[in-house]
Amino acid sequence: MKFIYLSVMIVLLSIPVTADEEVFTSQQKEALGKVIDDHLMKNPEVLASALEHLQQKQMKEQMEKSKALIQKNAAQLFNDPDDYVAGDINSPVAMVVFLDPYCGHCRKFHSVITQALDTSTSSGIKELKIIFKDLPIFGDSSDLAVRAMLAAKSQGKYIDFQKEIFKQEKPVTKEEITKVAASLGLDGSRLLIDMESDRIKRMVASHRQLAEALGVGGTPTSIIGDLMIPGEISLENLKALVSKYKQSKAPSTSSKNS
């Protein structure tokens, strides 16, 4: 009731008035303003409630907007043949992750992803596939590392190369990339050539364009179903999200019996 009272008062004060039309005199507006001020001073919880209501409304609107954008870009998100897919590639539960190898939060989340993919332990999450969208947002160093990872995919070593890049404390140079390639048994010369190819550069540009179209504000950002999740996700929360998604896709009892 108090929230409705406040809303009504605010609306009354904000009614547009033309030059030839006076809804309230200046004295009446001043009096109404004093009533509102007095009410808020005596009942500060009203303002807190109003702000909470506004935040919830904005959050709901943002989620609906993200859902529509995800559906619009679903093909590029979940079925781009150029992307590396880890985990159970036949699983209906797909998580898209936008990562930058030199983003501190991405490094922490990458550790969670590594645990989730290891299904030989209790940390692993079965029936999950992870689609990597490498998104360099920290300048040339990130761009160089991302192009190296994508080039390693052509030699069947994307995930191994990715792990090595994410271990590096400082941005790697081309010389260090060659050393990493050699340690993994890759053809370093071919890797450097592939890194500069138009195909790899188009892949990076495609990830940037997709992130912009979705309104991705930073890394890491994950997408599961029609839910966009900014920031890190703990292993426990990731398991809960996957479980909830699987339940939402499971056929209902009524469907089974029909």
Stretch among 14-28, 191-205, 215-229, 241-255 having the lowest mean pLDDT:
14-28
- pLDDT tens per residue across span 214-223: 999 899 999 9
With bands split at pLDDT 50, 70 and 90, how would you rate the model's confidence at 38?
Answer: confident
**Identity at 101, one-letter amino acid code:** P
- pLDDT tens per residue across span 96-134: 999 999 999 999 999 999 999 999 999 999 889 999 999
The tokens describing 28, both together, are: 């009446």
pLDDT at 3: 47
Q: How many CA atoms lie within 13 A of 214 on its CB side?
A: 30
- pLDDT tens per residue across span 79-98: 999 999 999 999 889 999 99
State residue 123 phi and psi, 5-degree precision: -75, -25
With bands split at pLDDT 50, 70 and 90, how would you rate the model's confidence at 54?
Answer: low
Percent of the chain, pLDDT > 90? Answer: 64
Question: Alpha-carbon distance 242 to 105, whole Å?
Answer: 21
Go through the domains of the chain in sequence order and give each one's CATH number.
1-43 (no CATH), 75-247 (3.40.30.10)
Cβ(95)–Cβ(127) below 8 Å: no
In sequence order, the 6+-apart residues with CB closer than 8 A to the CB of 86 are 117, 129, 130, 132, 159
Residue 18 has pLDDT above 90, yes or no: no
Categorise residue 231: left if φ over 0, alpha if ψ from -120 to 50, beta otherwise.
left
DSSP codes joined into one string, the chain: -HHHHHHHHHHHHT----TT--SS-HHHHHHHHHHHHHHHHH-HHHHHHHHHHHHHHHHHHHHHHHHHHHHHTHHHHH--TTSEEEE-TT-S-EEEEEE-TT-HHHHHHHHHHHHHH-TTSTT--SS-EEEEEE---SHHHHHHHHHHHHHHHTTT-HHHHHHHHHH-SS---HHHHHHHHHHTT--HHHHHHHHTSHHHHHHHHHHHHHHHHHT--SSSEEEETTEEEES---HHHHHHHHHHHHHHHSPPHHHHH-
With bands split at pLDDT 50, 70 and 90, how would you rate the model's confidence at 255?
Answer: very low
Q: pTM for this structure?
A: 0.75
- pLDDT tens per residue across span 154-197: 999 999 999 999 998 889 999 999 999 999 999 999 999 999 99
Q: Select from 103, 78, 72, 82 the least CA-distant residue to 91.
A: 78
